Every structure is written in structure tokens, then in C-alpha cells.
Structure 1
Amino acid sequence: MAARFIVEADGGSRGNPGPAGYGAVVRDGDTGQLVAEAAEFIGHATNNVAEYRGLIAGLKAARELDPDASVDVRMDSKLVVEQMSGRWRIKHPDMQPLAAEARTLFPRGRVSYTWIPRERNKDADRLANEAMDAGQAGRQWEPKASEAGAEPPLKTPPPKTTTPKAGWAAPADLGTPTTFDLLRHGETPLTPEKRFSGSGGTDPELSDKGRWQAERAAEALAARGSVQAVVASPMVRTRQTAETVAARLGLEVHYEDGLREVDFGDWEGLTFAEVRQRYPEDLSAWLGSAKAKPTGSGESFTTLTHRVGAARDRITARYPGQTVLVVSHVSPIKTLVRLALGAPPDSMYRMELSAASICAVQYYADGNASLRLLNDTSHLR
């Protein structure tokens, strides 16, 4: 069953037109819990443009969590609500393309629009003002540190502008992109047997072949000479892989818990055939929906997307314009590739990702991402 989200969005301009920014939050439609937030300083713009940009950011955040969701948009902008509901015409040329973009994010009929008074839109309004404050201080908005033990809400990339997409031509004013060289860990004893090995299992070490693969990856990455930082999942196999490469590069390894593998629950250590025999209904549900969890204490791909997206945002904020080696696992790396492409969740089942393979994704300042490399194993031949 698809999710139901509430999107609250707002935008503001100090001067109208003047320095402008937007804010948006996504809530679980059943519990009201905050699941994502976004904000951006957008330069010189009007209130209405900023409000539309906030709407687009909120819808994109919801789509990233579940592209099959239904969404209730709540805004204190009577103009945006009435125009997007189809009751008022959109005459201004600055708002026509923004409204058109907003309509492409979810099919007609899955998004409803409701006007709310400003006092009920405080979170989005606060984020918009934080974005404007940051922009006037010469920096971009960044999410505040989460409370201890809590996953921070996912900060989605800002909506794409009319500048050319990174895959065609990256405009000079976007600056140097942040590059993730995504390295899957080397083999463990479970890898060649194709057994589920997530964050809820035995946390195996690298095998002899896995250590050899890590050394070959280290040689290849050292030859490139571009890596400036190393960030890894804290699991044993990724730690061992990352430490091998980092030693060759003369860099320190920083650990990011959001990069750990998904928890496969009761499927840990089993082959696909064994899971199909023991838990056929759970497996079918898991293959059919990103919201389904493996049997027991397993973690859904929707939850993984939230966790990995938040880790991505923390890393890009920490290393802007740098090349970062990200050492992780099959599911998190496939998730990062999927999000970069804007592909649906089931695309993960159509990707091959070999042990110790390298992928590369670049992230630009306008929110665009560009997949540069996928499943490169040339260093292992």
C-alpha cells in the first residue's frame, strides 16, 4: 500500500522582489511525524516564485521517499493553492514553468491542495527564513544536527533550475561538483554464496580474496590521485576495505552510520532460494514494494532511502567540491545511484554491483546529480 504524505511549503522574499528562500517539510500522513525537510536560498526573487520553489522541493522530497505516494499539500499561499487546484489561471510568465514542473512530479489525482493559515505553517516558514538568513550571510542553508539517537530528516536536493543539466553541460557558475567515488567492500565468505549479509547478521570479515580486491582498489584509486577524503560504513568488511585504501592514499577514514547495509532480519545468512522456500509471501511482498520489510526485524528500502539520503547530504555538506571515497555496501550504493538518476525503487533489482567495484556520482550546486561510472571492475582483472 502506497504511503500518504503531508507536504507543508512556504517561501519568502525580503523586498518582494529581494533576497528569497523557501522551506518545505514532509510528514507521514498517518502519524504527522516529520520525515523530510528542505530549504534553499534562491537569490533575488519574488514571494510567489519562492513559494512555488518551496512546493516543488516538498513534492520532490515526497517522491524520493515513495513515488507511488498520495500527497496533501498545505500552504498559506492562497495564490499557489488556487492556481495548482485549477481554479485560478496562471498568468505570470515566471510562475508558469514552475507550476508545470510541480505538476510533473506526481500524477494528477494523487496530489490535493489545501490552504492553511500562516500560524499552521510555522515549520516551513521557519525553514524559509533560515534559508534567507544563511543566504544573506553568504552561505547556503544546512540542516541542524539531529537530537541524540535520532536520524535527521532527509534534506532533498533543491529543484532543478533552467540551467543545463550536468550530464550535458555544467555551467561554470555552479562551481566544482562534489564527487562520490563509491566503492563496494571486498568479498567476505558469504559473498560468493550470494547469501543475504546485512547489518543485522554476523558482520563478517573480508576473505583472502576480499583483501586482495581491496588492495587492487587501493592501487587503482591511488593512480587516479583525486580522492581527498574517505568515508565508510562502520561494518567490519567496509572498515577493512576503507582502511586498506586510506593507508595507500595517506588519508584518515571517517565513519558514517547511515552508509551501513540494510538489515535483512530473519533472512540474514540465507540464500535467495532458501528465503523463497521459507518465507515466500514475505519475499514476494519485498520484491513488489519498497515499503515491505524482510521477515522479522528487517529494514525496508524506503527506510534505507531516508537513511542513505541523509548520509549523502551530510557528506556533501562536509566536503563541498571535493572528491570523496565512499566505501559501502550493495544496497546503499545502489540507492545513491538510483537517487542520482531519479529512477524508481525497483530499478535497484536491475543493477549489477560486483564486490570491490567502483561507481562515481557527481553532485552539483543546483541539485543536479550525474552518474559518471557504474560497476567498474577493471582493476580486478
Structure 2
Amino acid sequence: MSSTLQGTLYHWRNRYLLMRHGHSQANEQGLIVSSPERGLDAFGLSATGERQLDEVVENWAWPVPSRIVHSDFLRTTETAGRVAKALGVPVEKDERLRERYFGEFDGQKVACYEGVWVLDDSNAEHASHGVEPVARVAARMQAVIEALEARFEDETILLVSHGDPLQILLTAIAGKPLTGHRNQTPLEPASITLVDKSA
């Protein structure tokens, strides 16, 4: 797999808003929740995350999306649902927007991230400790946009996902090596990034 996303994303027919889920119970507890077994039905938004999203929708400062596509983890589903209700737009799930799987570190403390990111820095293909390779995350995130590009035109689409996958995607969009995805400014919970490559 390539370490950067290739030409199919150079000119897009749609505009995309990339949103990290609101502050979650996993954030609150300092836990890595990256498997469907842990993340689909538990570790939703924290009270802080709910307040964040209330503020985001009350002070919406981006183009209003025509649709929302989100990871099927509970924290992203709840985030998307709150935004969709406030803005009156349809939602759909896409498993390809899920959190990066952190292998044997799933369920462990977030301090374990650092060791994985050190390995990422030298090899975007590594799967040490059962971790999902950065290149694979980039490929599935790219596939979401490619599928939406085939279906729609001149729309604004909000993608609700997770910190690592979104940073990896933004790194690739910038045409930078995926090994440097942690050089991307970290995305805060409930933050939104506008990406428009239709020009």
C-alpha cells in the first residue's frame, strides 16, 4: 500500500467536513476503546461531550451538510445523531470510518498510544502488537470518500470519525508520508475541519 493517497482524491466533486466525535466516556476514563466488541455498544459520549456538541450545533460555523456519514461506534453514532437532529439532515453508518484498531492495547490505558506512534513514525505498514497498520487505515478512509464521490455531486458531507483515522486521512490529503501522521495538529473532541478540493 502507498504511504500517501493517490490521484483519485485530487479533485473532489463534493466538499467534506471531518469531525472527531465529542468527548467520550473512554476519554474520561483514559482508555483505548478501538474494537467493535468494546466500542459499538458502550463508551458513548460523556457529559462533557454532550455539552460540547450542544455548543457546536448552537454556534455552527461551517457549511451546513446535506448528509452525515459516521463510524458505527457508539461515541460517533451519538455525535452524528445530535448534529443531524439539530441540522435536520440524514445520517448513515459506514464501518470504514471506525477507530483504528490498537490490537493488544485495546482496553488498556491511553499511555500505550505512544509506543505505537513511535513505530508508525518509521513504518506505515507495521502491525506490531496486532495494531491496524496506518496504511490500511488510510486506504479504508480513502474508500469512504471515493464511494461518496461516485454517489453524489456538489454536496457538503460531514464525516464523523475518530482522532487517529482523521489525522491519518488529513496527512494523506496533504500529500505527506503517512509515517508522519502524528505531526498533524491533534484533533480535539467535537472539532470540525473543512476540506474542499473541488476547486
TM-score range, shorter chain: 0.7 to 0.9
CA gap of 1:331–1:201, structure 2 versus 1, over 3 A, is farther
The structure whose residues are more often helix, as a share, is: 2
Task: Provide the secondary structure at the position in 1 that maps to 2:99.
Answer: coil
Alignment of 1:248-267 (within 5 A): 248-267=86-105
Amino acid at match of 2:154: G
Rounded Cα–Cα distance in structure 2 between residues aligned with 1:274 and 1:158: 34
Residue of structure 2 in register with 1:181 after alignment: 17
Residue of structure 2 in register with 1:356 after alignment: 190
Which residue, out of 39, 58, 61, partners 1:219?
58
Rounded Cα–Cα distance in structure 1 between residues aligned with 2:9 and 2:143: 17
Identity of aligned residues (%): 27
Contact 2:120 2:179 in 1 (8 A): no
CA gap of 1:311–1:275, structure 2 versus 1, over 3 A, is closer
Displacement after TM superposition at 1:255 (Å):
1.2
What number of residue pairs does the alignment pair up?
195
Rounded Cα–Cα distance in structure 2 between residues aligned with 1:336 and 1:235: 18
Structure 2 stretches lacking a partner, 5+ long:
none
Which residue, out of 159, 162, 165, partners 1:326?
159
CA gap of 1:243–1:66, structure 2 versus 1, over 3 A, is same
Residue 230 of structure 1 pairs with residue 64 of structure 2: no
Rounded Cα–Cα distance in structure 1 between residues aligned with 2:20 and 2:176: 20
Name which structure has the greater RCO, CA cutoff 8 Å, separation 6+: 2
Residue of structure 2 in register with 1:157 after alignment: 7
Q: Deviations over 1:21-50 (max 9, x none)?
A: xxxxxxxxxxxxxxxxxxxxxxxxxxxxxx
Residue of structure 1 in register with 2:47 after alignment: 208
CA gap of 1:159–1:291, structure 2 versus 1, over 3 A, is closer
Q: TM-score, normalised by structure 2?
A: 0.84
The structure whose residues are more often strand, as a share, is: 1
Amino acid at match of 1:232: H
Task: Provide the secondary structure at the position in 2 that maps to 1:359.
Answer: strand
Rounded Cα–Cα distance in structure 2 between residues aligned with 1:307 and 1:272: 24
CA gap of 1:294–1:220, structure 2 versus 1, over 3 A, is farther
